[in-house]
Amino acid sequence: MHRHTVLFNFKDEVDGALRDEVIASLRSLADLATVETFHVAKNLLPRGDVAPYEWLIVGDFADQKAREVYEKDEKHVAVVRQKFLPNVKNFAIIDVNLS
């Protein structure tokens, strides 16, 4: 199994309605064919030095090739370009293969 994890924060000027729209768009990626499981959730810990990210995306795929198909899917590309990148101020991505 391949796990794709993204940690992120919204830009300060992004209001609640736009945040909800971005989160809904991200959650819609769960419907893509190569996605096995997909979660978008808010961190329960308050943001600070030991918890610098407020949001989390975790997607599981059969293997790295399945994740690569997901990355190139036109819906994924549109969500990232039109919703995610314009509204996020920082993020970190971690991809690992799990046995």
pLDDT given for residue 38 in this prediction? 98
Q: Which domains does the chain have, with CATH numbers?
A: 2-97 (3.30.70.100)
Q: Are 35 and 69 in contact (CB under 8 A)?
A: no
Quote the pTM value: 0.95
- Answer positive or negative: Cα dihedral of 78, 38, 18, 6: negative
Per-residue pLDDT of the chain (99 residues; tens, 9 = 90+): 999 999 999 999 999 999 999 999 999 999 999 999 999 999 999 999 999 999 999 999 999 999 999 999 999 999 999 999 999 999 999 999 997
